[in-house]
């Protein structure tokens, strides 16, 4: 029996806890969250034996094999380091941290431990993106020349969340930065990014964008464009197209049904699945199952490593600097920062 502790029982903490509870041979022994009163009823309803406010008691529990870190990002670096130093395997939500210095410190600290750490870039486990990866990797569309990604949230985030999010490139684009590395199996050479505020002036006051783009040049030569908005009135818009020397592969939005209704006025089809909880349900299940397999099979390593988490942060930092300084940033120039 593998015993887990979960730190942070908000949106992602609840999703991962539910998915862990469905895996045979896994027990969630303890959940830690500062909001004891708000969470207790939920933890009790799942028969989770312990519920605590101080995350240290999860890490110091000798019976715990692995922790899931789903607290706000600002805590990730110190929680990963403490958990790994205590010999616990770690599954941590994206991103690793909000800055290069602490991300590098995490990598250095992990080198001195012997635990398995998976960063939760769940898109790698999504049926559409997995297929794109497999088709591109097998050479079916030849050499990838150009990638276009659209990533739009259905509704604006809470402004308090925006203030602590690390900015749109660290919080939102980071999934796409990882996805591009995954699909091309190449590193990013340079980034040009920019943004604006088209929806909510308070986002500007918080120093962030609600509408943004990033143009990436990969070391393998592939060019990429990502466009993004914190709100789309028709729902969660998640599309990707890879154009190559022998063809093209495209993933469209997933919908409740593929039924089309046609009449004199219009042709109608369901809107995209509304938000990440609905669109990526299966990928959250699969990424956790894969992590548990890593803990059960001695030599299996996590599909998304701390190094992958760090590379995505380098790209996010390059994008953030590019938007601020209005110039192209070479990712390798940031590698020395620690
Ligand atoms: N993979 C994805 O698609 C995805 C989507 C959204 C968020 N995330 C990531 O998941 C993480 C959590 O995001 P969320 O949306 O679930 O946030 P949330 O605010 O819903 O939940 C965070 C929880 O952590 C608790 N918490 C805060 N500080 C704590 C501490 N010191 N000790 C213990 N608990 C503490 C809060 O009380 C809250 O219940 C973030 O890093 C975010 O980037 C990932």
Amino acid 40: pLDDT: 87
For position 36, which CATH number holds? 3.40.50.720
d(CA 143, CA 145): 6
Same domain, 153 and 116: no
Report how far apart, in Å, the C-alpha atoms of 319 and of each of 170, 208, 212, 228, 230 are. Answer: 9, 13, 10, 13, 17
Measured CA to CA in angstroms, residue 270 lies from 152, 202, 253, 267, 332 at distances of 17, 32, 10, 11, 43
Same domain, 326 and 231: yes
Mean predicted confidence (pLDDT) in 294-308? 94
pTM confidence score: 0.97
Residues 194 and 321 in one domain: yes
Let me know if residue 79 belongs to a domain.
Answer: yes
**Is it the case that residue 280 has pLDDT exceeding 80?**
yes
Nearest to 310 by CA among 288, 287, 285, 331: 331
Read off the pLDDT of residues 23-37 as tens digits, 9 standing for 90 and up.
Answer: 999 999 999 999 988
**Does 194 have pLDDT greater than 80?**
yes
Residues 61 and 153 placed together within one structural domain of the fold: no
Interval between CA 93 and ligand 1 midpoint (Å) = 8
276 CA closest ligand 1 atom index? 3
Domain boundary among 122, 143, 159: 122
CATH number of the domain bearing residue 246: 3.30.360.10
pLDDT surpasses 90 at 83: yes
Calpha distance 227→333 (Å, rounded): 24
The mean pLDDT of 153-165, rounded to a whole number, is: 96
Closest to 318 in 3D by CA, of 224, 162, 194, 204: 194
Residue 95 within any structural domain of the chain: yes
pLDDT-derived band at 338 (thresholds 50, 70, 90) equals: low
Q: Are residues 240 and 318 in the same domain?
A: yes
Say how far apart CA 106 and CA 96 lie, in whole Å: 8
Predicted confidence at residue 336, as pLDDT, reads 78
Q: How far is the CA of 112 from the centre of ligand 1 (A)?
A: 27
CA–centroid distance, residue 94 to ligand 1 (Å): 10
| 32 Cβ below 6 A of ligand 1 | yes
Co-location of 237 and 265 in the same domain: yes
In a domain, 151, yes or no: yes
Ligand 1 mean position, distance from CA 20 (Å): 17
Domains contained in the chain, number? 2
- Which of 122, 139, 172 is the last residue in one of the domains? 122
Share of the chain above pLDDT 70, in %: 100
Q: Is the CB–ligand 1 distance for residue 33 below 6 Å?
A: yes
**Domain match, 93 and 143 both:** no
**56 in any annotated domain:** yes
Domain that holds residue 105: 2-122
> pLDDT digits over 88-106, tens only?
999 999 999 999 999 999 9
CA torsion, points 282, 240, 233, 227, in degrees to nearest 10?
130
The verdict on residue 292 lying in a domain is: no
Residue 91 sits in the same domain as residue 151: no
Residues 114 and 152 in one domain: no
Q: Indicate the residue among 105, 122, 139 that finishes a domain.
A: 122
Residues 6+ apart with CB under 8 A from 112: none
Pick from 5, 52, 70 the residue to mutate for probing ligand 1's pocket: most ligand atoms within 8 Å of its CB. Answer: 70
Pair 180, 107 in one domain: no
Single out the residue of 71, 76, 89 nearest to residue 12, CA to CA: 71
**Residue with CA nearest ligand 1 atom 3:** 276
Query: Mean pLDDT over all residues of the chain?
Result: 97
Residue 78 pLDDT grade (very low, low, confident, very high; cuts 50, 70, 90): very high
**Rg, the chain, Cα only:** 20
Listed range (38-42, 193-197, 227-231) with the worst mean pLDDT: 38-42
Residue 294 lies in a domain: no
Which atom of ligand 1 is found nearest the CA of 122? 1
DSSP letter for 134, please.
Answer: H
- The mean pLDDT value for 256-283 works out to 97
Cα distance between residue 331 and residue 335, in whole Å: 7
Residues 273, 127: Cα–Cα separation, whole Å: 15
Shared domain for 173 and 96, answered yes or no, is: no
Same domain as 325, residue 194: yes
126-152 mean pLDDT: 98
DSSP state of 125: G
Nearest CA to ligand 1 atom 25: 8
- Report CA(215)–ligand 1 centroid distance (Å): 29
The answer to whether residue 172 sits within a structural domain is yes
Cα 206 to Cα 200, 224, 323: the distances in Å are 10, 28, 15
Domain assignment of residue 217, yes or no: yes
Whether the CB of 17 sits within 6 Å of ligand 1? no
């Amino acid at each position: 029996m593998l015993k887990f502790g979960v730190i942070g029982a908000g949106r992602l903490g609840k999703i991962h806890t539910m998915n862990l509870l469905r895996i045979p041979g896994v027990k969630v022994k303890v959940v830690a969250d500062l909001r004891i009163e708000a969470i207790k009823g939920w933890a009790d309803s799942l028969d989770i034996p312990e519920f605590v406010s101080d995350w240290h008691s999860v890490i110091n529990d000798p019976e715990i094999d692995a922790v899931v870190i789903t607290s706000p990002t600002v805590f990730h670096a110190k929680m990963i380091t403490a958990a790994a130093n205590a010999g616990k395997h770690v599954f941590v939500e994206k991103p690793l941290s909000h800055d290069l210095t602490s991300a590098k410190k995490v990598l250095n600290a992990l080198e001195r431990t012997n635990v398995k750490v998976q960063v939760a870039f769940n898109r790698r486990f999504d049926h559409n993106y997995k297929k794109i990866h497999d088709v591109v990797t097998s050479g079916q569309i030849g050499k990838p020349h150009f990638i276009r990604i659209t990533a739009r949230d259905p509704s604006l985030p809470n402004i308090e969340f925006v203030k602590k999010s690390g900015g749109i490139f660290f919080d939102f684009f980071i999934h796409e930065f990882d996805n591009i590395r995954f699909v091309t199996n190449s590193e990013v050479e340079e980034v040009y990014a920019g943004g604006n505020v088209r929806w909510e002036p308070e986002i500007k006051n918080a120093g962030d964008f609600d509408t943004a783009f990033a143009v990436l040049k990969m070391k393998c030569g592939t060019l990429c464009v990502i466009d993004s908005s914190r709100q789309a009135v028709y729902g969660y818009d998640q599309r990707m197209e890879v154009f190559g020397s022998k063809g093209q592969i495209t993933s469209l939005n997933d919908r409740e049904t593929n039924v089309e209704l046609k009449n004199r006025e219009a042709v109608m089809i369901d809107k995209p699945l509304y938000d990440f909880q609905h669109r990526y349900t299966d990928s959250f299940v699969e990424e956790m199952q894969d992590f548990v397999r890593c803990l059960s099979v001695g030599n299996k390593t996590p599909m998304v490593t701390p190094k992958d988490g760090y590379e995505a942060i380098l790209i996010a930092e390059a994008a953030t600097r590019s938007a601020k300084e209005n110039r192209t940033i070479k990712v390798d120039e940031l590698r020395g920062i620690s």
